[in-house]
Structure 1
Amino acid sequence: MVKKIYKDIATYYDRLMEGINYEGWIEYIKNICVLNQLNPKTVLDLGCGTGTPTLYLFEEGYRVIGVDGSIEMLKVAKKKLSPFNPVLILSKFENFTIKKKVDLLISLFDSLNNILIEDELLRTFICAENCLRKGGLFVFDLNTIYGLSLMNSSSTFTKESRGVYSIWKSKFDRKRLQTTLSITLFVSENGNYRRIEETHMEKGYSFYTLKRLLRKSGFTKITFYEHLTFRRPRLKTKRVMVVAKKD
């Protein structure tokens, strides 16, 4: 299962992610839908977090359901999305369900890399397939094994955004194909700094494994792209977009 993360940093998550072009990601997914002759009306955002991509989808006129495993992140999303009266579901990724099937299911910003056990990734894919109508698409991005391998013990960087200073340290385990990311925040509060620490883990999966699990879940046409492009992934592709169709 996805470990309990994004708890203490949820309040500051949007500040940490400033600079991410979520709107561009949504435009890219819309182009993927056009390429697959899909005109979606309903969308499920798996791992919706604080709801920024979800907000863009609402503003585009889609009916959106958000699913996330962190109640703290969903609290932020609920406030952000309040004008749209959102349906937000607290659930583990491997057993989420909805009442009515959707046209499009997305999972962005390497949310599925947080699943460290292959069987739980399979169950997540099965849930996704069950929630899609026939002809629907499951679109998600992942850090590749190569991309995660670049996050080695020498990978340390700092950033500052609106009163939040953060230190990011990562280490890659080549045997487990997992990266451990340690995040330390220093948050300015009333002239003092509050320290917050969280540890996140991400696992890399081969294209072969992903395709095998998706086919086992019932998906048919499966395509891999370099992220934000329509090019085939290369050996040194850091992030990949996966498109799986339900027939």
Structure 2
Amino acid sequence: MSYEGFAYVYDFLMKDVPYEKWMQFLREKKEAYRIKENHVLDLGCGTGELSVRLSKEGFEVTGVDLSEDMLMVAQEKAMEERVRLSLFQQDMSELEGLGTFDIITIFCDSINYLPSPTEVKKTFEKVHNHLKEGGLFLFDTHSLYKVKEIFMNQTYAENEDEVSYIWTSYPGDEPDSVDHELTFFVNNENGLYERLDEWHTQRTYPMNQYTSWLEEIGFTVKEVTADFTNEAPNETSERIFFTCVKA
């Protein structure tokens, strides 16, 4: 999947995303599981919104993303905020050579962009290899309910002066997957609108499937919660959070 061009409208699309809730989730789990050190690996870091926030709070942050364009935007943000990020372009399922970390995150449903169970399991293995003993692995996924009942056959749109978009979601080819067709109209410096088309696929799995893969690889799944709360998921939960420890 290419993010060329998309990186520069991504933050507009994500402007209402509650990044502070992910930050609070990480703070709470770090304290609860007594993680003393601050070396964080932010996988699927995108344009660096969470990476920059973590760095500003005193974390030593390494960000990884598949998109060079996304990483360029992340670096620009880091420079503007006068923080340091170590940024690498890698596929999270092929992660290598980055050392070990106290906390590894895959937030904002980034794991749902992996196309198959093979890539998900490979990613869990790579995370395990890069995590210190007793370290935390934190990630979230779309629930089956959200994919099947909220996204499917829905259209979203927004019209503003700088950027407008139409976002339509369709059933994907694989089980429990959804295709997102996005068309952006971006106002360029000449006052004309340029069209940008994107097609993204996300796929999710039952909670017990994720847990089985994690335990098979060597993680202890400490908590499975929903929607930025400490409550267990229910049948209408939309975002599932996993808190795992490398035993």
State the distance in 2 between where 1:170 and 1:112 align: 18
Identical positions, percent: 29
Runs of at least 4 residues of structure 1 off by over 4 A? none
1:191 Cα deviation after fit? 1.6
Residues 25-62 of structure 1: CA deviation (Å, up to 9, x unaligned): 20121112222222341000000000000011000000
Question: Are the counterparts in 1 of residues 179 and 201 from structure 2 also a CA contact under 8 Å?
Answer: yes
1:63 paired residue number: 60
2:109 corresponds in structure 1 to 110
Partners of 1:22 and 1:106 lie apart in 2 by: 13
Between the aligned partners of 2:8 and 2:89, the Cα distance in structure 1 is 17
Q: Compute the TM-score of the two structures, normalised by the length of structure 1.
A: 0.94
For 2:57, the aligned partner's letter is E
Aligned to 2:220: 220
1:198-209 mapped onto 2 (5 Å cutoff): 198-209=198-209
Change (3 A) 1:206 1:172: same
How many equivalent pairs are there?
243
Q: TM-score of the superposition, structure 2-length normalised?
A: 0.94
Moved more, 28-37 or 128-137: 28-37
Letter in 2 for 1:111: S
Query: Deviations 1:169-219 (Å, cap 9, x if unpaired)?
Result: 001249611000011000011121100000000001111110111112211
Change (3 A) 1:235 1:203: same
Separation in 2, partners of 1:162, 1:127? 43
Q: Which residue of 1 aligns with 2:19?
A: 22
Q: Residue 29 of structure 2 corresponds to which residue in structure 1? A: 32
Deviation at 1:161, TM superposition (A): 4.9
Counterpart-to-counterpart distance in 2, 1:40 and 1:231: 27
Q: Distance in 1 between matches of 2:191 and 2:234?
A: 48
Q: Is the 8 A contact 2:161 2:187 kept in 1?
A: no
Alignment of 1:151-162 (within 5 A): 151-153=151-153, 155-161=154-160
Of residues 133-142 and 217-226 in structure 1, the stretch that sits farther from structure 2 once superposed is: 217-226
Tell me if structure 2 keeps the 8 A contact 1:15–1:161. no
Deviations 1:76-128 (A, max 9, x none): 11111133332111011111124421100011110000012101100000000
User: How far off is 1:235 after superposition?
Assistant: 1.4
RMSD of aligned residue pairs (Cα, Å)? 1.5
**More off after superposition, 104-113 vs 90-99:** 90-99
* Distance of 1:224 and 1:6 partners within structure 2: 31
Gap runs ≥5 in structure 2 = none
Aligned counterpart, 1:240: 240
Among 9, 13, 23, the alignment partner of 1:12 is 9
Unaligned runs of 5+ in 1: none
